[in-house]
Amino acid sequence: MKNATPGVIINTTKPHAVKALETLVSEMEKRGMTFLLESASAMSIGREGTTISELNSRCRFLIVIGGDGTILSAVREMTDLNVPILGVNPGESFGFLAEIPESELPQTLDAIMEGRYEVEERSLIEATYVGPDGLEKKERALNDLAFVRGLDARIIELRISVNGELLTTYGLDGLIMSTATGSTAYSLSAGGPVMYPGLEAFLLTPVCPHSFTNRPMLFPRGTKVEIENVTIGRPVHISADGRQTLTISSGEKVTVALGDKIKFLTRKNHSFVQKLRGKMGWQGSLRETE
């Protein structure tokens, strides 16, 4: 990618991200790189910018500075999923997607220009809803789709079918349908397992199910999981990566399956195992301190 044009997006609400953007712009200009900035990001350092969709169509890759939420927001607005993302952590994010620390920006830019990088594909998860008018609506997420009860404190009831075959009816506080990428997010907090990001599978994690036999389940690509709201007289709300997108009334259903893939740029010395150890604070043994 020696002469590739990157697009840059930051979380402008974080001072650390603005500082990291200044560092990034300085390093790119030192290398004679041509780049484009998203409008709000550019404004934070007194420059001119453009829209995310314009970056997506004109740039070879996107550099996103901020936490995982910033990356998830950028993914929602992307129209061309073949444009890879490089996530940069400005120093205050716990997330797993923004893996390059600001201090490593210079050597990361050199590695990309010299071709010393890898492209990692991550599967998106997709919900398909057909309304009473017959119109179809699709929502996609990189991390997860969450089925929640809203302000009502009572449990919701969801009937689950897998490839047309009834699995069970849950009584629970919520349900998370997660990608492998999202297994370290909301699903992990609800007791779900950690999955390697490249796995072609998705995860069903019940939130506070009212049965001890209800446990997380893993489904391979190609599986269609139908989720029907059988809660009497109350809707169920669906959020995609933390943003509410759909509401299904009693008797309505959605179908969830793995969808398209999105690409991430990563340096060859940044492994998922290293990230787990660092983010989780795992030591490996009772006496290990490094």
E strands in the chain: 6-10, 36-37, 61-65, 85-89, 100-101, 118-130, 136-141, 144-148, 156-162, 165-172, 174-179, 201-207, 217-220, 225-229, 236-240, 243-248, 253-266
pTM to 2 decimal places? 0.90
- The whole-number pLDDT of residue 94 equals 67
Give the range among 39-48, 121-130, 172-181, 276-285 with minimum mean pLDDT: 276-285
- Catalytic residues, by residue number, are 68
Helix (H, G, I), strand (E, B) or coil at 7: strand
Q: pLDDT digit string (tens) for 257-274?
A: 999 999 999 877 767 887
What's the pLDDT band for 228 if we cut at 50, 70, 90?
very high
Structural domains in the chain, CATH included, are: 6-117+267-280 (3.40.50.10330), 125-260 (2.60.200.30)
Reported as a pLDDT band with limits 50, 70 and 90, residue 289 is low
What digits encode the pLDDT tens for the residues 115-136?
Answer: 888 899 999 999 999 988 888 9
Dump pLDDT digits (tens) for 16-51: 999 999 999 999 999 999 999 999 999 999 999 999
Residues 209-222 pLDDT 10s: 988 788 999 999 99
Q: What is the DSSP letter of 4?
A: P
**CA 194 – CA 182 distance, rounded (Å):** 9
